[in-house]
A and B are shown apart, each in its own frame.
Chain A
Amino acid sequence: MNKEVLVIGGGPAGIECANSLISLGYKVFIVEKCSEPGGHLRKWDRLFPYGVSASDTLDKLLQKSGKAIFFYDTEVQTINQVDEKFVITLSDDTQLHVSSIVVATGFTLFPAAKKEEYGYGIYNGVITNADLEDGFKTHKKELFKANRVGFVHCVGSRDEKVCNRHCSKVCCVTAVKQACEYKDLNPDAEVYCFYMDLRMFGRGYEDLYLKAQNKYGIRFIRGRVSEVAEDVNGCLVVKAEDTLTSRPLKVTLDLLVLMSGMSKNDDNDKIADMLGIKTEEDGFLSLPEPTLNNCQTVTDGVFLAGSVTGPKTLPETLNEARAAALSVHKYLSR
């Protein structure tokens, strides 16, 4: 049995899985479709709930991955199974022979323009959580001059009309985190969060939420935004319903941040097809034993890690990556 493993996806899940596999003595290939490692983590500034720097986190992850062989700007073209080995052809025509595969292709951020009523791509003042994070990272000063800012939760999640019934899990706390950070940069801003439910499930999340209310004075309005329009001054007129007071609501804002959720990776169908595994109705890859083993697939030697099986926080993703590495080890030393 050769000790070579392919990891598809060079995000946090892929890197951490590779790290664990290297320490167990395996040779790891990582195929990454972008030109740099890190996935979505590379684009983020700070992480909830403690405000840890995203780039520091990524650097620490990458420190241990020195022995992994990265293929950048590359995708998997074909996978053939010969006996118990996988023969993989990459888009640059490289051929790899490995004994096991870990799929860590992550998620795609919901394209906010699909919710046209929120006006992303139509009004200048409408941005997404990723745009704001980029603003934090690159210190875009003009972004922090807005005096009235709104955060719209659940954009493209829990929304059957855009075919995403699932909860994206991390946007609630991301919105709270970003709202606080915004207040740090512009203490005079009035900040509103329009939410359906606030799902503060993780350790430290509830504290952050309380801090957002007590320390930062962020206003939380329970109700979905129905539509956004622009007035003559270029300000955004946001219509929503305050479901706690059962009243329709209209606020004029300068900046609106849409919390785009985690959607299935656009390549999931292709990858699932190549590996003989299935996707669920929500588009994420399916797990035959979701409770007992969240890495295992129906195909021997193929394992899953991270948000390819549904929205996850970063610590969850990293844990799963390590679990997948152990599963590979167990499979190859059987």
Chain B
Amino acid sequence: MRERFLFGYDPFVLPFTLGMVFIVLYLLIGSVRIILALNKEERLLLLRSMNPKQLLITAKDVFVDCLLHIKVFKRNILLGYMHFSIAFGWFMIILVGHLEVILYTPQRNGVLYYPVFFRYFVMETQQTLRGAFFFFLMDLFLLMILSGVALAIFKRFRSMALGMRRTTKLKIGDRFVLYSLWAIFPLRLLAESFTANISGGSFLTKSINHLVHGFVTNPDNALPIWWSYSIALGVFLFTLPFSRYMHIPTEIILIFLRNAGIKSTSYRNGYAESEIYSCSRCGICIDACPMGVNRGDIKFSTVYTIRLLRRRENPHEGAEKCLMCNKCVEVCPVGINSTRLKLLYRQSVNDSGQHDFSYLSLLRESDSSGKVLYYAGCMTHLTPGIYRSLFNILDKAGVEYSFMDKDGSVCCGRPLMLSGDVKGAGELIKKNTELIKASGCKTLLLSCPICYKIFRDEYKLEGIEVIHHSVYINNLLKSGKIKVKRGTGKYVYHDPCELGRGAGIYEQPRELLSETGILMDSPEERGESICCGGSLGSLTMSCDKRRKITEHALDVLNTNKPDIVATACPLCMRTFSPLNKKSETADIAQIISRNLI
């Protein structure tokens, strides 16, 4: 292998080289801007994460998420392969390209364009095994990318085949990048094929060279195609920052920051910026969003809200309408915590704190030393059937308990928190914490996942176990304090957003139901469970739109024709029961209470 040209340069490398310089500078400036926007604490966290162990973990995450795309594979194998083949194949071509330069033309090591256009600049002296090996690898990975590109083109016309009902609408910048991305690899194949008789090639390039050779006798005619290849690369690199494909480099920055333990503290700058630019607008969240049943509301799904944020436009409508069910976060292949961004946005506009909290001082704690303290919250107060069933179970198990908000009490604060009013929520949290600590209880029992979520995450109740009734009842059953009869009732379990995605409790309610009847699957469950439509998270959703969401969620839950749709949230139950015509709706406590022996 030796060089064909004395200076190792040809003008056609310019579009690529300039594009590369541009994008590297752009990324550098971007990264610096993000780091500058971090506060002192966050920067310290970032600095601390720069140790070998942490870097190794980050490198692994980058490899798994950005190159292998394991999360996309889990969604749909074809979609995963499409992403994997392009990302991993491209990475390997770059890697092997550099190896080639290091091995065969070490004097050109460090020249930006050399590994990319290697085959134009070298000629084969004699067939070497190593050359054949690398050329084979290069052709193999190129084939892999081309298969991915073919899938990508196919997906544009038939997204359903790749598991996506709806995909994002493209903007002009996206189109430039997309078409240049599609063009890069076929052009590379052609270019390398044109010179394969000089530089050598493998199964792909050599074969095509034999075919093309008949038409192009003069190898100098190959130059236009090398120009096209370089221009395609240049266009791609120059338009990258103005398109959704900016996620490719940004995701690496995001993983670095995330692994350092940084979370967004503003809805637009700092860490948030890295999240916003990491959004690939793949549109997986569009299908996931429960609002999508109302076609006019598709424009409020997360992908479009993030696009507005990226353009520094007002995301108000989407951020306020969102049900905060967190399903888009659950399915996001990049792991963007968009719910947090929306919450931060709400905090920036809604934190007025116009409340009359004078009544708080009138509340007195009850003496519950050593007992279980039960807090119903407003939603369970509206569904007395739930707490009566729960008390029945507690009595049967011989558990001593007291009812904290029997005569009404303070709200848990979660609704205010979801509306963005941190200050107001803080007042309630403070009062409740006092009441709970003064009661002397050991366990705080909750039947509402909305309350449970905030008691668990935001309250500081050292020494007091905060537990949801589905887990508590399951513990009672496991320890033999209660017994249930096994029936033939068929149940489908609806995962409430705040309990499932919000608190990661998926198994205990299912274990409970399996003890007393037959637990059936729902097509969309656990992390993929659909919001009941009653969510307190949305500030502006109208009743009729909520109703459509509820009806859709019920249709999905009733797919396998259960006798009872079981849930573990009073709000879900209230939302479902008036509209569920195909089966009964019941809380898990009611089901267990009925079947006690």
Contact = CB atoms under 8 A, between A and B. Distances in A.
A227 B578 contact: no
Interface stretch (B240-248, B258-266, B377-385, B503-511): B377-385
A270 to B, nearest CB: 13
B382 A116 contact: yes
B384 A229 contact: yes
B536 to A, nearest CB: 14
Contact of B384 (A119, A163, A226): A119
Nearest to B581: A266
A221 interface: no
A250 B381 CA distance: 14
Contact of A117 (B381, B407, B544): B381
A265 to B, nearest CB: 15
Contacts of A227: 381-382, 384
Contact of A163 (B383, B406, B408, B578): B578
B578 A114 contact: yes
B307 interface: no
B172 interface: no
B111 interface: no
How extensive is the interface on chain A, given as a class?
A: 10 to 19
B579 interface: yes
B577 interface: yes
A229 B577 contact: no
A163 B382 contact: no
Contacts, number: 39
Nearest to A228: B384
A229 B578 contact: no
A161 B408 CA distance: 23
Contacts of A93: none
A117 B384 contact: yes
Contacts of B408: 239, 250
Nearest to A160: B543
A52 interface: no
Contacts of B577: 114, 116
Interface in B347-395: 381-385, 388
A116 B574 contact: yes
Nearest to B359: A248
Interface in B542-583: 543-544, 547, 574, 577-579
Contacts of B543: 160-161
B356 to A, nearest CB: 11
A155 to B, nearest CB: 13
Interface in B402-421: 406-408
Contact of B578 (A162, A230, A239, A250): A162
Interface string A133-175: 0000000000000000000000000001111000000000000
B384, B385, B543, B547: most-surrounded residue (chain A CB, <10 A): B384
Given A163-B547, A229-B406, A116 B384 contact: yes
A122 interface: yes
Interface in A212-265: 226-230, 237, 239, 250
Nearest to B386: A116
Interface string A114-130: 10110100110000000
Contacts of B407: 237, 250
A237 B406 CA distance: 10
B406 to A, nearest CB: 7
Contacts of B579: 163
A123 B385 CA distance: 10
A122 B384 contact: yes
Interface in A101-117: 114, 116-117
A229 B385 contact: no
Nearest to B570: A116
Nearest to A162: B578
A117 B385 CA distance: 9
Given A160-B543, A162-B578, A163-B579, A116 B406 contact: no
Contact of B383 (A117, A123, A162): A117
A227 B379 CA distance: 10
Given A116-B384, A117-B382, A119-B384, 7 more contacts: A114-B577, A116-B577, A122-B388, A160-B543, A226-B382, A227-B384, A229-B406
21 contacts: A114-B578, A116-B382, A116-B383, A116-B385, A116-B577, A117-B381, A117-B382, A117-B383, A117-B384, A119-B384, A122-B384, A122-B385, A161-B543, A161-B578, A163-B579, A227-B384, A228-B384, A229-B406, A230-B384, A237-B407, A239-B408
User: Closest 3 CB pairs between A and B?
Assistant: A117-B382, A160-B543, A162-B578
